[in-house]
């Protein structure tokens, strides 16, 4: 594998703009058929693997959740050869027992976003992926076990399972919304992971989320409104833990990467007959369709 390729990708969210653990790094500025990603990707070595890191909001946190180039970010990971993608994200907690600084590995999403691009398809090629299990179970378990295996700074609990409600933002929720989400049985809240998970599945990349709880949103009677100051304070306290978990997860992936049905998500999803798909679309999606010879562009 060349220095500019990586089997593992990490997308860092709020407060996680670099991966100090990477050595032997190269910075790669990519363009994709969906425009440029949020920033240059840094590819480096960790525990015997090449790992590609991308700060979701860009260095300096320049992009709103609504403005994130989700398609370009995932396409860029595909171009680099990424097969396993780990998102580290800040979330609010909608449950008493998911305390600030705890870490949650959600297994479901609930969509409260509006008008975000959530697919690579269209323009003459129709595809419908299965998304009943939006997080890759095997990868999520691997990272959660890695989290349990390392020494964490502070009194941190690891929780597996739960539903991440993805809201549009950028303003945080009203009290009425927060209470309603709780009454619906939703567990954590953020603004970014749903589109990533969908696009990663379309790109046949195995995806999971490590959610770093930063606040109780605004529903908790003993806690005030959620603020960026509170979120960043808790994230900074947890940054070292996040790095340790990512390293341990990469070590485990290096030892035994799970086989995952996401890697063949398009096998039964592509609906349009190859002959009916415009050449321009085949070219645009070439990195995603390389495994399916009938959809290869002629030129
Ligand atoms: C900085 S507070 C709100 C912001 O934090 C979360 O970002 P990310 O998922 O990238 O860690 C949340 O989704 C909002 O975008
Ligand atoms: N309470 C919250 N709502 C939405 N996104 C968040 N990210 C961190 N905390 C959040």
Annotated binding residues, written as ranges, equal 14, 56-57, 89-90, 191-192, 215-217
Report the distance separating Cα 104 and Cα 211, nearest Å.
5
Query: What is the reported pLDDT for 1?
Result: 73
Catalytically annotated residue among 215, 222, 233, 276: 215
Dist CA 225 CA 117 (whole Å):
30
Report the run of H or E that residue 44 belongs to, with start and end: strand 41-46
pLDDT surpassing 90 at residue 299: no
- Contact call for residues 133 and 243 (beta carbons, < 8 A): no
What are 263-287's pLDDT values in tens digits? 999 999 999 999 999 999 999 999 9
| Contacts of residue 192, Cβ cutoff 8 Å, sequence gap at least 6 | 13, 56, 65, 68, 87, 89, 166
Does residue 237 or residue 64 have the better pLDDT?
64
Contact between 165 and 91 (Cβ < 8 Å): no
- Residues composing the chain: 299
The superfamily CATH assigns to domain 8-264 is: Nucleoside phosphorylase domain (3.40.50.1580)
pTM of the model: 0.98
231 lines ligand 1 (CB under 6 A): yes
Q: What is the pLDDT of residue 115?
A: 83
How far does the centroid of ligand 1 lie from the alpha carbon of residue 101, in Å? 15
Q: Of the candidates 218, 207, 227, 228, which has an alpha carbon nearest to the alpha carbon of residue 57? A: 228
Q: How close is the Cα of 221 to the center of ligand 1, in Å?
A: 23
* ipTM here: 0.99
Domain ranges for the chain, please list them: 8-264
pLDDT tens figures, 145-203: 999 999 999 999 999 999 999 999 999 999 999 999 999 999 999 999 999 999 999 99
CA 39, 30, 258, 194 dihedral sign is positive
In this predicted model, what pLDDT tens digit does every residue of 101-129 receive, in sequence order?
A: 999 999 999 999 998 999 999 999 999 99
Average confidence (pLDDT) over 58-66: 97
Tell me how far the alpha carbon of residue 93 lies from the centroid of ligand 2, in angstroms: 8
């Amino acid at each position: 594998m060349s220095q500019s390729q990586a089997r593992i990708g990490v997308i860092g969210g709020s407060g996680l703009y670099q991966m100090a653990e990477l050595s032997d790094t190269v910075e790669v500025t990519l363009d994709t058929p969906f425009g440029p990603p949020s920033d240059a990707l840094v590819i480096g070595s960790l525990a015997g693997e090449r790992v590609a890191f991308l700060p979701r909001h860009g260095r300096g946190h320049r992009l709103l959740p609504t403005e994130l180039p989700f398609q370009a970010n995932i396409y860029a990971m595909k171009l680099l050869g990424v097969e396993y993608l780990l998102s580290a994200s800040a979330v609010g907690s909608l449950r008493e027992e998911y305390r600030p600084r705890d870490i949650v590995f959600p297994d479901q999403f609930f969509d409260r976003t509006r008008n975000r691009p959530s697919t690579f398809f269209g323009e003459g090629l129709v595809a419908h992926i299965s998304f009943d299990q939006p997080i890759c179970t095997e990868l999520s378990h691997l990272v959660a076990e890695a989290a349990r295996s390392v020494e964490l700074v502070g009194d941190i609990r690891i929780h597996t399972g739960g539903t991440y409600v993805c809201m549009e933002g950028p303003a945080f929720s009203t009290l009425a919304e927060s209470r309603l989400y709780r009454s619906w049985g939703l567990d954590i809240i953020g603004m970014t992971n749903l589109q990533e998970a969908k696009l990663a599945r379309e790109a046949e990349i195995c995806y999971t989320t490590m959610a770093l709880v930063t606040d109780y949103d605004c529903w908790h009677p003993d806690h005030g409104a959620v603020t960026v100051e509170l979120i960043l304070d808790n994230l900074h306290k947890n940054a070292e833990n996040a790095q340790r978990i990512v390293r341990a997860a990469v070590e485990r992936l290096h030892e035994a990467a799970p086989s995952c049905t996401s890697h063949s998500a398009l096998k039964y999803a592509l609906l349009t007959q190859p002959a009916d798909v415009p050449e321009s679309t085949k070219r645009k999606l070439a990195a995603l369709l390389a495994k399916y010879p009938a959809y290869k562009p002629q030129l």
